[in-house]
Structure 1
Amino acid sequence: MNKTKVYPYIPNSVPAVKAAMLAATGAASVEEFYADIPAALRLPRALNLPEPLLSEARLKRHVQGLLARNTHCGEVLSFLGGGCYQHHVPALCDEINGRSEFLTAYAGEPYDDHGRFQALWEYCSMMGELLNLEVVSVPTYDGYQAAATACCMAARHTARRQVLVAANVNPDKRSHMQTYGRSEIEFIEVAFDAASGLVDRADLRAKLGPQVAAFYVDIPNYFGGIDEGAALAKLVQDAGALLVVGVDPSSLGVLTPPGDYGAAIVCGDIQPLGMHMSYGGGHGGFIASRDDEALVLQYPSRLFGIAPTSVPGQYGFGDVAYHRTSFDQRENGNEFVGTAAALWGITAGVYLASMGPQGMVELGEGILRRVAYARQQLASVPGLRLAHAGTAHFKEFVLDFNASGFTVAQINAALRERYDIFGGHDLSAVFPALGQSALYAFTELHCQADIDALVTALRELLTQ
């Protein structure tokens, strides 16, 4: 006899609730309710769920047991990066973003929330100083979304359909850009040079044309390589297109801001600015540009400004050109803007305020020194080669294991099991031309002893 499973922590599993929902929608059954979803997108069987735990205490124990099986980067030595990084988070960041007036404020309306508006305005102002640009949006969902929206902005601004994208961009970011912008943009890939890991300028030159709205490139790129932005900007501008640059904000204490060498739109992720790695969370995207009215009007997200009030000496903080947005125009807005990441914008503002300009310089210099030391030491390990050896790198670089006789998967498994080390991202599937290669990341949290431990572990594994 089949007994209906009722999960007290999943309200819709209660038969009476299911029946009420079906009655409200006019569907005779769950199958009828989902009939519009193509069969290829549906699981053709019931979910393999365990028996329900009817006691909250037993459920809590069960979940805690599952969580205890996880090993996070705070417990072991980690060299993972690739878009989410283990940086030091000042205690002040957690203290401020945990305050109830920030933590629980979703969008700021319909109630007055001037403190939150000012906090976001301060964040945008400090980001503008870091980027050396006048206009910065409130955070988008993440850096991938910021990149996708930046490309859509460029297409609207130029009334052109094609966007060139460097092949050395994070594959997940490229996928998101393609998914989000495919209805209005034709994305075309620009190759990277195998020896340097940088953009193949000949391929870029060949693909630029009158239908190209923009060229999107990350500097530093996914491999950590630092391209010559000014040279790319000249090629793009000569073709009448816009240069859109994705940038790691933690690099801007030591690298030239993209706007200074010709980028029309700059974007990125603020996760390195005071956010913990959090199982896929803790991200927020930024978009920035010069104060060019025609370009500013293409922003879909909120822009905060400051203005004097009717009370002498007092100021207010609020929306600029609100009519651009879907909040005002709904489906007629530039793009539909959903949940933002305002809390992380406030967090990044706290981080930037606590670091100050000199702190950002020291952060970048410290990372450059660690990368230089790691590259020097790892180059001496037999069976290991530095990919893109002649290119300057920030935070990340690629290690080539092709001559070692081991796969990256084997190396990473051994590092975890024998040394409690998380090795680099395996690139063999997403960049097959690199063969058995891995992306290693180094931040200010890695001391010399940490790097030496990695070198020793790899030397032992590759010479055993």
Structure 2
Amino acid sequence: MQGFKSHPYIPNSVVDVQQEMLKEIGINSLEELHAEIPEEIKLKGNMNLPKPFSSEYELRRHVEGLLKKNKTCKENINFLGAGCWQHYVPAICDEINSRGEFLTAYGGEPYNDFGRFQALFEYQSLVAELVDMDVVNVPTMDGAQAAATAIRMAGRITKRNEVLVPKAMDKEKFLIMKNYCAKDLTLIKVDYDIKTGQLDIEDLNKKISEKTAAVFFENPSFLGFIEEHGQEISDIAHNAGALSVVGVDPSSLGVMIPPSQYGADIISGDLQPLGIHMNYGGGQSGFMATRDEERFVMEFPSRLFGIAPTIVEGEYGFGDVAYDRTSFGHHRHEGKEYVGTQTALWGITAGVYLATMGPVGMFELGQAIMQKSQYAIKKINAINGVKGSLFDAVSFKEFVVNFDETGKTVREINKFLIEKNIFGGKDLSKDFPELGESALYCVTEVHTKEDIDRLVAALEECVK
């Protein structure tokens, strides 16, 4: 620290101030604070960092200049989904989640809680009503973690170590689940019908066994189609002594029955469609839901908030349910599994969204998505050499478009589209080579007829 100068962003960095503080605690240099660290791993020189800006204004201008390089959905029409979807976010969602008592309440225990526990209880109640289950957790980091946690719960409940998952799922999500479950569970992929996308029931029957803890499938699927055999899949799982675990897109539940009505024991999903911005890959959050049965409740590793009467008649409080399940406090070494930072703020946001929309709003949302996506499929399918929907199945929000007969690759097409200020669909050719030159397109309530027609015109121009 010889010759160290004051830093504009570090308090107490003036040398005289530092020396006074060091003298107070009885040492001569900052290095003495780290005397236990071996010399061979200490950084001897200065870090290769740019010089600091001398004012907040200069820093802000620099950062805004960098951000301008981003291509956003404000100046481009977006048809890209695949796990992070563009939905309309009501202004009230941002208004509530930016309030200081929620935004800064990381821990939010009773002595410093200004309604966070109640807000999360209300969120849990609203999601429980949406998915027709009794118990919902405080949010996980994202939908992939929620799915991984759900099947780990199934493994502990059944005391088995294999889980069957669909081959037609997001590769990144599969790898997250595989990594998360590597110690306890083996994931086995089940084939799908190449014509319909539906889970191959024959292959499922071949692979299920007395080792199977759960059958996991998604509805709608990652590739957009609606799984038509949900009850049959759940029955096969149950007959083998396994659990049925279903991943769901909550934005579909205004027009589709929830998985609980076709045999799901545990439901997981992403909260991002419920009032949460895309945020350049951030803004992710996941949930899990089960029936109110002890064998399920006691396997949730994350926090659950409940309501209970207080000593004041007619007054109620909100707090943790069966806190000893978790990895917090002195129970950490005995917890079901470790759960770190959670996305409680996004749970509150999802609760605000659901309360704002209500049952009628969720129905209208689902209806608009279905109508607009079906219109897009019809118009794209009319383009010479393009298959607007590769699978012979009903889709919700997302659908697979195949370009094999055009002689062009998805990469070439997407490059052309971006020149037209359009984000094309996710390229599936690497993760799903059996689908050829195909892309996953997404249409939500934010897309207008003019947006879809503009996409169709650009595709026609590209492939002619």
- Aligned partners of 2:402 and 2:446: how far apart in 1? 24
- Aligned partners of 1:458 and 1:142: how far apart in 2? 33
3-state DSSP of counterpart to 1:203: helix
**What residue number does 1:455 align with?**
456
Shift of 1:156: 0.3
> What is the aligned counterpart of 2:355 among 353, 356, 359?
353
Q: Are residue 340 (structure 1) and residue 375 (structure 2) matched?
A: no
| CA spacing shift, 1:297–1:422, aligned 2, 3 Å | same
Shift of 1:59: 3.6
Measured against aligned partners, the alpha-carbon deviations of 1:176-213 in whole angstroms (never above 9, x if no partner) come to 10111111111111112211122111111111000010
Shift of 1:307: 1.1
Q: Is the 2:143–2:268 contact (alpha carbons within 8 Å) kept by the matching residues of 1?
A: yes
**Which aligned pairs between 1:299-448 and structure 2 lie closer than 5 A?**
299-328=300-329, 329-417=331-419, 419-448=420-449
Q: Is the 1:79–1:441 contact (alpha carbons within 8 Å) kept by the matching residues of 2?
A: yes
| CA spacing shift, 1:22–1:331, aligned 2, 3 Å | farther
Give 1:263's aligned amino acid.
A
- Aligned partners of 1:336 and 1:265: how far apart in 2? 19
Q: Are residue 222 (structure 1) and residue 222 (structure 2) matched?
A: yes
| CA spacing shift, 1:426–1:5, aligned 2, 3 Å | farther
- Aligned partners of 2:62 and 2:116: how far apart in 1? 38
3-state DSSP of counterpart to 1:85: coil
**What residue number does 2:250 align with?**
249
| CA spacing shift, 1:378–1:202, aligned 2, 3 Å | same
Q: Are residue 24 (structure 1) and residue 34 (structure 2) matched?
A: yes
**What residue number does 2:26 align with?**
none
**What residue number does 1:151 align with?**
151
Deviates more, 1:78-87 or 1:226-235: 226-235
Q: Is the 1:5–1:52 contact (alpha carbons within 8 Å) kept by the matching residues of 2?
A: no
Shift of 1:174: 0.7
Measured against aligned partners, the alpha-carbon deviations of 1:272-304 in whole angstroms (never above 9, x if no partner) come to 000011012112111001111111110001111
Deviates more, 1:281-290 or 1:382-391: 382-391
- Aligned partners of 1:457 and 1:307: how far apart in 2? 58
3-state DSSP of counterpart to 1:168: coil
Q: Is the 2:101–2:114 contact (alpha carbons within 8 Å) kept by the matching residues of 1?
A: no
Shift of 1:54: 4.1
Q: Is the 2:377–2:389 contact (alpha carbons within 8 Å) kept by the matching residues of 1?
A: no
- Aligned partners of 2:362 and 2:269: how far apart in 1? 16
Q: Is the 2:399–2:440 contact (alpha carbons within 8 Å) kept by the matching residues of 1?
A: yes
TM-score (norm 2): 0.91
- Aligned partners of 1:195 and 1:129: how far apart in 2? 35
Measured against aligned partners, the alpha-carbon deviations of 1:399-433 in whole angstroms (never above 9, x if no partner) come to 1011111111111111111x100000111111111
- Aligned partners of 1:280 and 1:10: how far apart in 2? 29
Q: Is the 1:114–1:316 contact (alpha carbons within 8 Å) kept by the matching residues of 2?
A: no
| CA spacing shift, 1:101–1:429, aligned 2, 3 Å | same
**What residue number does 1:68 align with?**
68
Give 1:26's aligned amino acid.
E
Q: Is the 1:7–1:54 contact (alpha carbons within 8 Å) kept by the matching residues of 2?
A: no
Question: Unpaired runs of 5+ in structure 1?
Answer: 35-45
Q: Is the 1:136–1:287 contact (alpha carbons within 8 Å) kept by the matching residues of 2?
A: yes
Shift of 1:60: 3.2
Q: CA RMSD in A?
A: 2.4
- Aligned partners of 2:107 and 2:339: how far apart in 1? 12
**What residue number does 2:120 align with?**
120
Q: Is the 2:382–2:388 contact (alpha carbons within 8 Å) kept by the matching residues of 1?
A: no
- Aligned partners of 1:9 and 1:398: how far apart in 2? 49
- Aligned partners of 1:20 and 1:262: how far apart in 2? 62
| CA spacing shift, 1:25–1:131, aligned 2, 3 Å | farther
- Aligned partners of 1:312 and 1:74: how far apart in 2? 52
| CA spacing shift, 1:137–1:27, aligned 2, 3 Å | same
Aligned residues: 445
**What residue number does 2:54 align with?**
55
| CA spacing shift, 1:331–1:423, aligned 2, 3 Å | same
3-state DSSP of counterpart to 1:279: helix
Shift of 1:390: 1.4
Shift of 1:55: 2.7
**What residue number does 2:260 align with?**
259
| CA spacing shift, 1:54–1:274, aligned 2, 3 Å | closer
**What residue number does 2:25 align with?**
none
- Aligned partners of 1:113 and 1:124: how far apart in 2? 18
Question: Unpaired runs of 5+ in structure 2?
Answer: 23-28
**What residue number does 1:104 align with?**
104
- Aligned partners of 2:292 and 2:223: how far apart in 1? 32
Q: Is the 1:150–1:265 contact (alpha carbons within 8 Å) kept by the matching residues of 2?
A: yes
| CA spacing shift, 1:435–1:50, aligned 2, 3 Å | farther
Give 1:173's aligned amino acid.
K
Shift of 1:85: 0.7
| CA spacing shift, 1:381–1:284, aligned 2, 3 Å | same
| CA spacing shift, 1:378–1:22, aligned 2, 3 Å | farther
| CA spacing shift, 1:411–1:323, aligned 2, 3 Å | same
Shift of 1:110: 6.3
3-state DSSP of counterpart to 2:106: coil
Q: Is the 1:22–1:33 contact (alpha carbons within 8 Å) kept by the matching residues of 2?
A: no
Q: Is the 1:148–1:181 contact (alpha carbons within 8 Å) kept by the matching residues of 2?
A: yes
- Aligned partners of 2:409 and 2:4: how far apart in 1? 48
- Aligned partners of 2:233 and 2:127: how far apart in 1? 24
3-state DSSP of counterpart to 2:117: helix
Work out the percentage of aligned pairs sharing the same amino acid.
Answer: 51
Give 2:354's aligned amino acid.
L
| CA spacing shift, 1:5–1:177, aligned 2, 3 Å | farther
